[in-house]
A and B are shown apart, each in its own frame.
Chain A
Amino acid sequence: MDQVLFYVFAALTVVASLFVIAQRNPMYSVLLLIASFLGLSGLYVLLDSPFAAVTQIIVYAGAIMVLFLFVVMLLNAPHEEPPLRTTIPVTIGGRPLRVGAVLGVLFLAEMAWALSRLARQPIGGDERTAGLVSSVRQIGVELFTTHAFAFEVTSVLILVAMVGAVALAKRNL
Chain B
Amino acid sequence: MDPVFIAQLIVIGFTFFMLLNSAAVSVYLERKVAGDLQQRLGPNRVGPYGTLQPVADILKLLFKEELRPKAADAFLFALAPVLSVTAAFAAFAVVPWGAETTFFGLLPEPIKLQAGDVNVAMLVIFAVTSMGVYGIVLAGWSSNSKYSLLGALRSSAQMISYELSYGLALAAVLLLGNSLSLTEVVNAQAGSWFGVIPKWFVFLQPIGFLIFMIAGIAETNRAPFDFPEAEQELVAGYHTEYSSFSFACFFLAEYVNMVTVSAVATNLFLGGWHGPLLPEWLGWMWWMAKVLALIYFYIWMRWTLPRYRYDQLMHFGWKVLLPAAVLNLLATAAVVLYWS
Chain A interfacial positions (CB closer than 8 Å to B): 27, 31, 34, 50-51, 54-55, 57-58, 61-63, 66, 69-70, 73, 136
CB distance from B219 to the nearest CB of A (A): 12
Q: List 7 A-B contacts (CB under 8 A).
A: A34-B134, A54-B120, A61-B131, A62-B130, A63-B130, A66-B137, A70-B156
Q: How far does the alpha carbon of A57 sit from the alpha carbon of B131 in the complex, in Å?
A: 8
CB distance from B170 to the nearest CB of A (A): 11
On whether the beta carbons of A51 and B133 are closer than 8 Å, the reply is: no
List residues of chain B with CB within 8 A of the CB of A73.
137, 141, 149, 153
Instruction: With A66-B160, A73-B149 as known contacts, state yes or no: A58 contacts B76, CB within 8 Å.
Output: no
Q: How far does the alpha carbon of A103 sit from the alpha carbon of B126 in the complex, in Å?
A: 45
List residues of chain B with CB within 8 A of the CB of A69.
134, 137
Q: How far does the alpha carbon of A58 sit from the alpha carbon of B127 in the complex, in Å?
A: 5
A-B contact count (CB 8 A): 50
Whether a CB of chain A sits under 8 angstroms from the CB of B218 is no
On whether the beta carbons of A62 and B133 are closer than 8 Å, the reply is: yes
Whether a CB of chain A sits under 8 angstroms from the CB of B119 is yes
On whether the beta carbons of B123 and A66 are closer than 8 Å, the reply is: no
Whether a CB of chain A sits under 8 angstroms from the CB of B336 is no
CB distance from A166 to the nearest CB of B (A): 13
CB distance from A36 to the nearest CB of B (A): 14
Whether a CB of chain A sits under 8 angstroms from the CB of B180 is yes
Pick the most buried of A54, A61, A70: most chain B CB atoms within 10 A of its CB. Answer: A54
On whether the beta carbons of B160 and A54 are closer than 8 Å, the reply is: no
CB distance from A127 to the nearest CB of B (A): 15
Q: How far does the alpha carbon of A129 sit from the alpha carbon of B153 in the complex, in Å?
A: 45
List residues of chain A with CB within 8 A of the CB of B156.
66, 70
On whether the beta carbons of A51 and B130 are closer than 8 Å, the reply is: no
Whether a CB of chain A sits under 8 angstroms from the CB of B118 is yes
Whether a CB of chain A sits under 8 angstroms from the CB of B124 is yes
On whether the beta carbons of A54 and B130 are closer than 8 Å, the reply is: no
Instruction: With A50-B120, A62-B133 as known contacts, state yes or no: A70 contacts B127, CB within 8 Å.
Output: no
Q: How far does the alpha carbon of A36 sit from the alpha carbon of B128 in the complex, in Å?
A: 16
On whether the beta carbons of B153 and A62 are closer than 8 Å, the reply is: no
Residue of A nearest to B125 (CB): A54
Q: How far does the alpha carbon of A139 sit from the alpha carbon of B124 in the complex, in Å?
A: 17
List residues of chain B with CB within 8 A of the CB of A34.
134
CB distance from A35 to the nearest CB of B (A): 11
List residues of chain A with CB within 8 A of the CB of B130.
57-58, 61-63
The one of B73, B123, B149, B160 in contact with A51, judged by C-beta atoms closer than 8 angstroms, is: B123
On whether the beta carbons of B120 and A51 are closer than 8 Å, the reply is: yes
Q: How far does the alpha carbon of A63 sit from the alpha carbon of B131 in the complex, in Å?
A: 9
3 closest A-B pairs by CB? A62-B130, A57-B127, A54-B123
On whether the beta carbons of B133 and A136 are closer than 8 Å, the reply is: no
Residue of A nearest to B128 (CB): A57
